[in-house]
Amino acid sequence: MISFSLLSIQLLQSAEAVADTTSVTPKVEQVAQELASGNVRWDQVVSQLITWSLDAGRHILIAVVVYLIGHYLIKLLNYLLARFMERRNVEISVQTFVKSFVGVLLQVLLIVTVVSALGVNTTSFAALLASFGVAIGMALSGNLQNFAGGIVILFLKPYKVGDWIEAQGTAGTVQSIMIFHTVLLTADGKLIYVPNGAMSSGTITNYTLTPSRRVEWVIGIEYGEDVERARQVVLDILKADSRVLADPAPVVWLGELNSSSVDMTIRCWTDNTDYWNVLFETREKIYNRFNELGIGFPFPQVTVHQG
């Protein structure tokens, strides 16, 4: 509420300043004075209105031309900037941030130019724009924090475009780092916009920075099964898979003795790119191989004793 009030006060003061410094077209003032005095010569009024309409139409036409040319130049500059950064092999993360920032800046400059072409006093408009910027900055201080967070991310590089990360309760591939948000693409194809301020100050788990990852399974077998035999079967499956790294070597431990199962903890290392395939495919291989060899999987059982 305080920010909104300050915003309203700033805008009112700026509008008053513009009204004081920007005079109405002299021809319109003259028509107004004649109408007020009652000494009206309608032929002159019509002539003056036509002249004023022609002037206004000329300003509007110039403003439209300026907008079209400016819009084309902005697209051209964005294209040249993108090509320059690509040839310089600038990181994609920096590219997306710079393109987003430059695009917003050029749009603001285009708006100022179009307003000037309409005949508005640019000095007064600049004062209005400055006051508007201060008021908006106070009202939208969170976005300024997000902008600063984006700069921190680009310098410290906790992640970059293409990394798979988990942050703010969301996991996905980084698609772009924009002025105020980081865009994540989740595994099920959703785009999530996460504020840069939260990303720069919160916990980030980056799964891509390291070349390899550890895969872990917990698989239960029935009581009475040969644990050493089951261990050897699992190790044979892992050693036969070329995606499983030999160093560190795979391990199979007796993890826990639960109420209905003997839980075996299986761990191995693989390249980051092979993590998900190894995780799911190896689990299926173990299940099929255990069934072939008659190694039983447990299920919950309840023993009832009658007195």
Q: Confidence class of residue 276 from pLDDT cuts 50, 70 and 90?
A: very high
Per-residue DSSP letter, 305: -
Tens digit of pLDDT for each residue in 202-256?
A: 899 999 989 999 999 999 999 989 999 999 999 999 999 999 999 999 999 998 9
Q: Give Cβ neighbours of residue 65 (< 8 Å, ≥ 6 apart).
A: none
Q: Give the confidence band of 133 by pLDDT, cuts at 50, 70, 90.
A: low
User: What is d(CA 137, CA 127) in angstroms, rounded to the nearest whole number?
Assistant: 15
pLDDT band at 172 (very low <50, low <70, confident <90, very high): very high
**φ, ψ of residue 166 in degrees (nearest 5):** -130, 120
How many Å apart are CA 126 and CA 18, to the nearest integer? 10
What stretch(es) of the chain map to CATH 2.30.30.60?
Answer: 157-206
Residue 166 tokens read as 């988990």
**Is 212-293 CATH 3.30.70.260?**
no
Supply the DSSP string of 148-199, one letter for each residue: HHHHHHHHH-S--TT-EEEETTEEEEEEEE-SSEEEEE-TTS-EEEEEHHHH
pTM for the full model?
0.57
CATH code, residues 157-206: 2.30.30.60
Q: What is the mean pLDDT of the chain?
A: 80
What pLDDT, on a 0 to 100 scale, did the predictor assign at position 27?
52
CB atoms within 10 A of CB 79: 10
Q: How far is CA 14 from the centre of its chain?
A: 34
Q: Which residues are within 8 A (CB) of 55 and not within 5 positions of it... i.e. 6 or more apart?
A: 25, 119
* CATH number of this structure's domain 2-145, picked from the four choices 3.90.1150.10, 3.40.50.300, 1.10.287.1260, 3.30.9.10: 1.10.287.1260
The boundaries of every CATH 3.30.70.100 domain in the chain are 212-293
Residue 116 parent element (H or E): helix 92-117
Query: Rounded to the nearest 5°, which phi and psi values hold at 135?
Result: -65, -45
> Burial, 307: exposed, middle or buried (Cβ in 10 Å; 0-12, 13-18, 19+)?
exposed
C-beta of residue 6 within 8 angstroms of C-beta of residue 138: yes
- State how far the alpha carbon of 236 is from the alpha carbons of 34, 264, 270, 277, 279, in Å: 103, 15, 16, 18, 16
- Report how far residue 269's alpha carbon sits from residue 251's, in angstroms, rounded to the nearest whole number: 10
Taking only the tens place, the pLDDT of each residue in 113-122 is 887 777 766 6
Distances (CA, A) of 244 to 120, 167, 234, 274, 281: 70, 28, 12, 9, 12
Residue 51 CA to residue 25 CA, distance in Å, equals 11
Q: What are phi and psi of 194, to 5 degrees?
A: -105, 130
Which residue carries 């998900």 as its tokens? 276
Name the segment(s) of the chain with CATH classification 1.10.287.1260.
2-145
Q: Looking at per-residue confidence, does 155 or 307 come out higher?
A: 155
Per-residue pLDDT tens digits for 10-35: 444 444 444 444 444 455 555 555 55
